[in-house]
Amino acid sequence: MTVPLTTDAFGLWARACVAALGVARAEIDALNVFPVPDSDTGTNVYLTYEAAATALSEALVGDASLDECVKAYVDGALLGARGNSGVIMAQLLRGAFGSLATGRELGGAEFARAFVRASDAAYAAVGVPQEGTILSVARAAAESATATAERGGDVAKVLRASASAAQVALARTPEQLEALARAGVVDAGGRALVVVFDTTERVLTGRWQPGAELTMGTHTIAVPTLDDTLDPDGPAYEVMYLLDADDDNIGDLRQSLGALGDSLVVVGGEGLWNVHVHTDEVGAAIEAGIVAGRPYRIVVTHFAEQQATARARHAEQQQERAVVVAAAGRGLADLFEAAGARVIEFAVGDRLPISRVVDAIRLAGARDVIVLPNGSDHIAACEAAARQARDAGTRVAVLPTHTQVQGMSAIAVHEPGRDFDDDVIAMTAAAAQTRHGAITIASESGITMAGPCQPGDVLGVVDAEFAFVGDDMHTVAMQVVQMLMSGSAELVTLVTGDGADPAMAAALRRSIRQLRPDVDTVLYDGGQGRYPLLLAVE
């Protein structure tokens, strides 16, 4: 399999990246603790790709050739790059497309070489490369792509291998950087690059559809930053500028800026450069640019002021919008609370009183509230509570989440800073596109859609219907998984219930990986009653 590189395909990919990064932006911002916890990595990368896409659109209007479009895109990223991760992203794009621009029919080997050149260019651009960052993710993706291509893998296999390796590398970043481990998060820049690799694989293998970005915000509920305190010994300012300078002058510039601070990144070439550094000596950093050439579009950011503004904005957004969630177990409640939701905890089988939902909406103290019933029997009560809240002046939307795992998918793409209606649409789409199942134990004899059952039989539920009856939980669970999974499945979520055997869940996870090594599997301890296991496939 090869992929034709055309202006139409290039434009689709560029638009898809912007859309996917736009959905993931708030999550990535929340992960941002390194090198400075300024909560802007997602926004900076999004704006970088948006600037590149805008430049491409302008070139397409002028009926530019493919090579001219690629140059416009790469230059647009360079000129519009924002922040440390945005500048590195611009260099990754420059390195990748520098080798792809002359090709028309591209195979796996061409993409592998492009990813290697991109990674090498990014490492070379950073003054002091740090593992556990976007650089580690880029290199892991390049190495996996190369190994797959050397085994004869086509474009689809190479792209799938690179995207998978990027996710694995991202998960390892807290092991490589102490700041990430302390905060309990993965690297924000690396997460942004995973979104790009995932989008690239979807677009170039034909799996991208309009609106697909609505479910690409995250695969897990983001862990909030535990410590966003600035390092008192670290630089106080970020200095960025564009620079017209001879390429021969850049070596001396790097040396001068390296002595003034850290997080140094200088990207570009052919006389046009984008310079980024964290420093206490703003004037000296700009003077170094003057010595090298002509700096312009100079931006100086004071980290303390930026962080204070971000905190105030976040507090305001949280006050304006809240999410109320019905959770069927302590573990599930902890997950939803970690995502910022107000939780109504209940036991499986219990009725959800309207008064409890009304109180939760009122105590949220927000202008706008999104309610996740997470159970078919709870939707009517939530709708009744919503009507009372609306009469009191609160805007409330009740999403049709019929299961706990649909609620998890919905809150994973929740973005408080997004328009209310857009947020509701994105969350609803995420829930609707999550196929769900469960494992329970029969308590009495009966007839099910899957046949007769006896007390103690294992029952497999698929989309709220009994689909399997058996005597072994692992076997029935795998039957449910196989029925839920399609060829486009990307993520299986397992939620263990109260008293569930951890060894059972671990064995099931291994079996899923053996069955579909291309599908990610995540495991949570939900603590719900009645159902030893809840399953979801996205």
102 and 40 in a common domain: yes
Peptide bond just before 35 cis, omega within 30 deg: yes
Split at pLDDT 50, 70, 90, the class of 291 is very high
> Would you say residue 309 lies in a domain?
no
The answer on 37 and 174 residing in a single domain is yes
CATH number for 326: 3.40.50.10440
Looking at the fold, whether 187 and 333 belong to one and the same domain comes out as no
pLDDT tens by residue, 353-382: 898 999 899 888 888 999 999 988 899 999
Residue 404 lies in a domain: yes
Q: Are residues 211 and 82 in the same domain?
A: yes
Q: What percent of the chain has pLDDT over 70?
A: 89
Do 444 and 417 lie in one domain? The reply is: no
pLDDT at 147: 95
Coil, strand or helix: which one is 149?
A: helix
Segment (H or E) for 169: helix 155-176
Structure tokens that stand for 362 in this block: 């009122």
How confident is the model at residue 232, as a pLDDT? 63
Instruction: Look at residues 412, 432, 452 and tell me which one is the last residue of a structural domain.
Output: 432
Mean pLDDT, the chain, integer: 85
For residue 252, the enclosing domain spans 237-292
Q: Mean per-residue pLDDT for 1-20?
A: 83
253: domain CATH number? 3.30.70.60
Compute CA 215 distance to the chain's CA centroid, rounded to the nearest angstrom: 10
Q: Find where tokens 């690059």 sit.
A: 193
Confidence of residue 221 (pLDDT cuts 50, 70, 90): very low
CATH number (domain holding residue 83): 1.25.40.340
Tokens of 125: 């651009």
Residue entry with tokens 């893998």? 153
Q: Say if residue 65 is in the same domain as residue 173.
A: yes
Residues 268 and 190 in one domain: no
φ/ψ of residue 279, rounded to 5: -160, 160
Q: Are 271 and 246 in contact (CB under 8 A)?
A: yes
Residue 267 lies in a domain: yes
- Quote the number of domains for the chain: 4
> Which residue in 492, 494, 500 sits closest to 530, CA to CA?
500
Residue 120 clears pLDDT 90, i.e. is over it? yes
Do 144 and 184 sit in the same domain of this protein? Answer: yes
The distance from CA 475 to its chain's CA centroid, rounded to whole angstroms, is: 32
Q: How far apart are CA 411 and CA 530, in angstroms?
A: 24
Q: Residue 455 sits in a domain of what CATH number?
A: 3.30.1180
Last residue of a domain, one of 246, 261, 292: 292
Same domain, 422 and 446: no
Answer with the residue of higher pLDDT: 302 or 256: 256
* pLDDT confidence bin for 225, thresholds 50/70/90: very low
Decide if 396 contacts 369 (C-beta within 8 A).
yes
pLDDT in tens, 160-194: 999 999 989 998 888 888 888 877 788 889 999 99
DSSP structure string for 195-224: HHHHHHHHHHTT---TTGGGG-S-SSPPPP
Of the residues 391, 414, 432, the one at which a domain ends: 432
Q: What is the pLDDT of residue 347?
A: 83
Same domain, 248 and 277: yes
Residue 421 phi, psi dihedral angles, 5° rounding? -65, -40
> What tens digit of pLDDT does each residue of 90-109 get?
999 999 987 665 556 778 88
For the stretch 238-269, pLDDT in tens is 898 999 999 999 999 999 999 998 888 898 88
- pLDDT on residue 372: 95
Alpha carbon distance 304, 280 (integer Å):
13
**Together in a domain, 78 and 206:** yes
Q: How far is CA 418 from the centre of its chain?
A: 16
**pTM of the prediction?**
0.61
> Is residue 246 within 8 Å of residue 293, measured between CB atoms?
yes
Q: Are 27 and 222 in contact (CB under 8 A)?
A: yes
Q: Is residue 140 one of the residues assigned to a domain? A: yes
What's the confidence (pLDDT) of residue 314?
Answer: 57
Q: Who has greater pLDDT, 399 or 449? A: 399
Q: Across residues 38-62, what is the average pLDDT? A: 86
- Does residue 323 share a domain with residue 456? no
